[in-house]
Amino acid sequence: MNIMTLNKSDGTTQEVELIAKFKLDKFDHDYIFYKLNDEHYAAKFVENENDTTLITTFSKEETLALTKIYETLVKGGRL
């Protein structure tokens, strides 16, 4: 299990389980799936010189691609 510590905007931290980190060919971002309190989430993973930012807003195309990947993983498929 890979644990990732998120620095939240309110100054607190939150540990989450990192499920997968990957790139989508059509987009210029890294993406992650992570788990928090038995819920699964997706985010763009943007690394800068001083920090890392998770962005949770997606275009329609990104949402479709992420949904397809997530559904494949849930069904036990391999990417």
The pLDDT tens digits of the residues spanning 6-25 come to 888 788 888 999 998 999 88
Mean pLDDT for the stretch of residues 46-66: 88
Q: What is the pTM of this model?
A: 0.81
Residue 66 has pLDDT above 90, yes or no: yes
Instruction: Give residue 78's pLDDT band: very low, low, confident or very high (50, 70, 90).
Output: low
Could you tell me whether strands 2-7 and 39-47 are parallel, antiparallel, or unpaired per DSSP bridges?
Answer: unpaired
How many other CB atoms are there within 10 angstroms of residue 72's CB atom? 12
What is the tens place of the pLDDT at every residue in 22-51?
998 888 889 999 999 999 999 998 887 777
Three-state DSSP at 34 gives strand
Name the amino acid, one letter, at 37: N
